[in-house]
């Protein structure tokens, strides 16, 4: 089978001259920097068109479906966001109800807004001892659907940003009993199913639509992802219509070559690399059991590639730990949460990299003491508050556009109807969604984030939040 990368490389070395886009004309010398201009082309003869694939891109996507165990797969060059927007909007119609895991990524909330949907929420279990969101239970999904059987689709995230995995198979069975599709944001789990140490892929567990960010945990360029479709419950025609609308009409051939190379690696060539990776990773995790004050967290069902380093029992905050790792050891972490730091590992990690992180954590840990309670301090769990929904997100946006918004200090916003989001990014899971009545718990959680020097996003004016002024 001809590979896209090989074909691009051969074309770049030929004497074809480009009187077409892109404007750099594959001229590396002009800017004097080493970017892959020679491989960057447009939809010229012989290289297919992602939006109407019938040649090499069609073959590559069919191979991706086989490799990932899906019935149909589509390359995404606008990240998982384009796939999530297309999946949600394709599986619903304007005004429909949709059941959403509350800790889903902000792109799912954007799809709710864009399609004028009415969100209903299922909340993750919360582990108070770890200060972490846990699984979405199939029992909670069943209760929500029984209470409102007119819900048209269900969206969950598994794994979540911290690597916690939900019972996708059990949830799919519940959702399918209502004749509606299950969409799984598996952006952080494209490596699932390629080694027994990792959970099964959602394609094998009954999910109707699965979105994978290959760039997150596999060797592929940032912004590359794949959307998979299975079964008869998801509206394939509508999903593909939205993919056509929401993806660039000038998809990057460099991105698509990266997707091709990654799928090629997974297609029978990755076993040895994954075996070595898992061996190194398991040894790394075992050696970190020597930590006395910091702690490597794990839940019952989780992805071992995510290394969650808790500071809850140590006299150091998570931002302080991340800062020390960055400044003293030149180790950059993926995310800083309220009481933990997240290090992401992948099959591309080296032994040297893992050794550096291990040595740094053990050295820092040896300098720490057990956390002591501070008199008068308030302990915040970090659990997402459950807020009253007064407007849908789109109705809230309409109120703002109609001039019905006012800005007030968010610390004084309890009881008001929010017209803005408030969340930490990453992971991008909203504490407050537009249209919700702000609770004391929500304000306290944001205050806690502020004391931890964590960046609150979604709010346009620092220290203030837009609320409905007619409440």
Considering the domain architecture, whether residues 227 and 287 belong to the same structural domain is answered as no
39 assigned to some structural domain: no
Number of domains in the chain: 3
295 assigned to some structural domain: yes
With H, G, I as helix, E, B as strand and everything else as coil, classify residue 359: helix
Last residue of a domain, one of 187, 220, 250: 250
Last residue of a domain, one of 217, 250, 283: 250
Last residue of a domain, one of 250, 285, 313: 250
CATH number of the domain within which 447 lies: 3.90.100.10
Considering the domain architecture, whether residues 353 and 423 belong to the same structural domain is answered as no
151 assigned to some structural domain: yes
* pTM, rounded to two decimals: 0.93
Let me know if 290 is exposed, middle or buried by CB neighbors in 10 A (0-12, 13-18, 19+): exposed
Considering the domain architecture, whether residues 147 and 245 belong to the same structural domain is answered as yes
Considering the domain architecture, whether residues 206 and 71 belong to the same structural domain is answered as yes
Low-confidence ranges of the chain (pLDDT < 50): 375-376
Considering the domain architecture, whether residues 170 and 313 belong to the same structural domain is answered as no
Structural domain span for residue 152: 65-250
Decide: 449 and 441 in contact? Cβ < 8 Å. Answer: no
375 assigned to some structural domain: no
Beta strands in 236-278 (DSSP E): none
CATH number of the domain within which 338 lies: 3.90.1150.150
Decide: 135 and 124 in contact? Cβ < 8 Å. Answer: yes
Let me know if 27 is exposed, middle or buried by CB neighbors in 10 A (0-12, 13-18, 19+): exposed
Euclidean distance between the first and the last CA atom of the chain, given in angstroms as a whole number: 63
Considering the domain architecture, whether residues 399 and 441 belong to the same structural domain is answered as yes
- Taking Cα atoms as reference points, which of 196, 183, 169, 429 lies closest to residue 303? 196
20 assigned to some structural domain: no
d(CA 345, CA 338): 21
pLDDT of residue 196: 97
Considering the domain architecture, whether residues 87 and 145 belong to the same structural domain is answered as yes
23 assigned to some structural domain: no
Considering the domain architecture, whether residues 240 and 326 belong to the same structural domain is answered as no
Decide: 83 and 70 in contact? Cβ < 8 Å. Answer: no
454 assigned to some structural domain: yes
Determine phi and psi for 75, rounding to 5 degrees.
-70, 140
Considering the domain architecture, whether residues 105 and 196 belong to the same structural domain is answered as yes
With H, G, I as helix, E, B as strand and everything else as coil, classify residue 140: helix
Considering the domain architecture, whether residues 98 and 245 belong to the same structural domain is answered as yes
pLDDT of residue 21: 58
Considering the domain architecture, whether residues 347 and 402 belong to the same structural domain is answered as no
CATH number of the domain within which 140 lies: 3.40.640.10
Decide: 235 and 83 in contact? Cβ < 8 Å. Answer: no
264 assigned to some structural domain: no
Considering the domain architecture, whether residues 99 and 149 belong to the same structural domain is answered as yes
């Amino acid at each position: 089978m001809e590979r896209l990368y090989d074909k691009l490389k051969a074309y770049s070395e030929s004497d074809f001259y480009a009187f077409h886009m892109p404007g750099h004309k594959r001229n590396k010398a002009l800017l004097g920097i080493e970017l892959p201009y020679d491989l960057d082309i447009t939809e010229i003869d012989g290289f297919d068109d992602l939006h109407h694939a019938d040649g090499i891109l069609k073959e590559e996507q069919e191979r991706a479906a086989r490799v990932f165990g899906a019935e149909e797969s589509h390359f995404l060059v606008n990240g998982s966001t384009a796939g999530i927007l297309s999946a949600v909007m394709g599986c619903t119609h304007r005004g429909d109800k949709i059941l959403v895991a509350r800790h889903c990524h902000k792109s799912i909330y954007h799809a709710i807004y864009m399609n004028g949907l009415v969100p209903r929420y299922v909340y993750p279990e919360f582990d108070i001892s770890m200060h972490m969101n846990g699984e979405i239970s199939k029992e909670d999904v069943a209760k929500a659907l029984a209470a409102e059987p007119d819900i048209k689709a269900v969206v969950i995230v598994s794994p979540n940003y911290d690597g916690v995995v939900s019972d996708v198979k059990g949830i799919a069975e519940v959702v399918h009993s209502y004749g509606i599709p299950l969409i799984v944001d598996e952006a952080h789990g494209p490596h699932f199913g390629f080694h027994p140490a990792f959970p099964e892929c959602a394609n094998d567990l009954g999910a109707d639509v699965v979105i994978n960010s290959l760039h997150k945990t596999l060797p592929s360029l940032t912004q590359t992802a794949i959307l998979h479709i299975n079964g008869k419950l998801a509206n394939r025609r509508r999903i593909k219509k939205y993919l056509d609308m929401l993806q660039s009409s000038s998809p990057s051939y460099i991105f698509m070559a990266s997707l091709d190379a990654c799928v090629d690696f997974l297609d029978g060539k990755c076993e040895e690399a994954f075996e070595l990776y898992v061996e190194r990773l398991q040894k790394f995790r075992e050696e970190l059991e020597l930590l006395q004050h910091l702690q490597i967290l794990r839940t019952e069902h989780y992805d071992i590639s995510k290394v969650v380093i808790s500071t809850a029992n140590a006299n150091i905050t998570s931002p302080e730990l991340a800062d020390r790792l960055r400044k003293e050891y030149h180790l950059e972490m993926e995310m800083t949460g309220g009481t933990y730091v997240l290090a992401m590992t992948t099959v591309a990690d080296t032994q040297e990299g893992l050794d550096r992180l291990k040595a740094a954590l053990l050295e820092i840990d040896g300098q720490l003491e057990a956390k002591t309670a501070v008199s008068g301090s308030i302990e915040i769990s970090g659990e997402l508050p459950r807020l009253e929904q007064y407007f849908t997100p789109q109705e809230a946006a309409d109120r703002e556009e109609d001039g019905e918004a006012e800005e007030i200090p968010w610390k004084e916003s309890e009881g008001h109807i929010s017209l803005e989001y408030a969340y930490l990014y990453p992971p991008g899971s909203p504490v407050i969604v537009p249209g919700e009545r702000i609770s004391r718990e929500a304000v306290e959680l944001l205050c806690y984030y502020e004391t931890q020097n964590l960046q609150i996003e979604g709010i346009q004016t620092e220290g203030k939040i837009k609320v409905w002024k007619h409440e």
